[in-house]
Amino acid sequence: MRDHNIPNAIPDGKRNTHLGSYLSPDAADAGLNFLTPDIHLLALREMLLRERGAAYDFDRAVANSLSSQPLVFNAFGPLALNLTLATNVFRQLVPSFVQSVEKVLFEHSPGRRVDDPARDNRWLADRSAVDVALHVRTPEGESGIIYCEMKYSEDQTGPAARWRERYDEALKQVRLYKDPNSPVLRDVAIEQLTREHMLSQLAVDNGVTRRAMFIAIGPRLNRRVQTAFQVYANELLPVDDNDRSRVTFRHFTLETFIDAIDVAGDQATADQLWQRYCNFQRVYEAALSLLAPNAQPAAADGSAGEGQLDRKQDDKPRSRRRSSARTKSDQVAAAPEANRHGQ
């Protein structure tokens, strides 16, 4: 924020409620929580014209720089505005599923509660929705949808949705789980993934799309998020490649997603995303300067271990390493099924 002269909110002096991640009211109104004016306008349009029942927290979206809501727009907004870029990104991430991306929707649900028992029983009888839905064409020429959930600073401790009887029914109906009665699927850290994956499968079962995939994205160093992804994947039945109606689950780090944008040709957006959301080295150095203001900078030989956060930048600490980006994305393309459930 400081690099871009974005002022944060000023404490009122009466209560210790200040969070440095919040923008000042003027900065929030100017759209400075978004990477570009075009993404700001896209976010405003999507929130104004949102689907019926869509749940946006407008203040968090425009004012909280650590919220996943603006991250969704900053990460997927450039893709929504440039479907060629979106295609090139997802052909790297899931080459077996994507030939082209044709549309990007935000805060989407194929079937929210409408207080009609006949229809609600086809879905989950609630307001569950995914952050993003990408309508795609598969390499076989079929239509498909990638449903996506994105995490950033979440600690996976809730609040959780009120567990409904319909969820218990759907767990058995969707044919996704080793044990539909497993308490893990109902755990506060996991239940959102459970609901959204079930919703994705029901979209196929109810004829919304012939094929679908459910993916989750989160920072590599948010261990609670990454653990939730891995634990959830372990609850799933192995993939049956002959059953094309099954909705598979994939999870990616935010860093891998950003690298894919880089390799797809939009280096500027990739660098902006990484500097804002993944350059934790700067957080480490800022914290160290407060705890030990007289300490000397750590040597650049790797001796500081994970404190250097894996992204030591040689002699340019505020730039992404080009070779690192290409190497990671090449690995994703070379092993696209590396984290399919059942493995």
Question: How distant, in Å, are the alpha carbons of 248, 295, 302, 319, 322 from that of 314?
Answer: 39, 20, 11, 9, 12
244-247, Cβ contacts within 8 angstroms, sequence gap of 24 or more: 244/210, 244/211, 245/204, 245/205, 245/210, 245/211, 246/175, 246/176, 246/201, 247/176, 247/197, 247/200, 247/201, 247/203, 247/204, 247/212, 247/213, 247/214
Q: Are 131 and 148 in contact (CB under 8 A)?
A: yes
Q: Please enumerate in sequence order all residues whose Cβ is within 8 A of that of 308, keeping only pairs 6 or more positions apart, or say none.
A: 281, 284, 298, 300, 302
Estimate to the nearest angstrom the gap between the alpha carbon of 254 and the chain centroid. Answer: 7
Cis peptide before 297 (omega within 30 of 0): no
What pLDDT, on a 0 to 100 scale, did the predictor assign at position 239? 85
Pairing of strands 130-137, 100-108: antiparallel
What whole-number distance in Å separates Cα of residue 274 and Cα of residue 260?
A: 12
pLDDT per residue of the chain (343 residues) written in tens, 0 to 9: 666 667 666 655 555 555 667 888 888 889 889 999 999 999 999 999 998 878 888 888 888 888 999 999 999 999 999 999 999 999 999 999 999 999 999 999 998 866 666 666 889 989 899 999 999 999 999 999 999 999 998 888 877 788 899 999 999 999 999 999 999 999 999 999 999 999 999 999 999 999 999 999 999 999 999 999 999 999 999 988 888 999 999 999 999 999 999 999 999 999 999 999 999 888 888 888 888 887 766 555 544 444 455 544 433 334 454 434 444 444 444 444 444 443 3
Q: Is the dihedral of CA 333, 224, 106, 126 positive or negative?
A: positive
Q: Where are the domains of the chain?
A: 67-276+318-334
Q: Are 298 and 308 in contact (CB under 8 A)?
A: yes
What whole-number distance in Å separates Cα of residue 110 and Cα of residue 201?
A: 10
Q: What would the two tokens of residue 18 be?
A: 């200040």
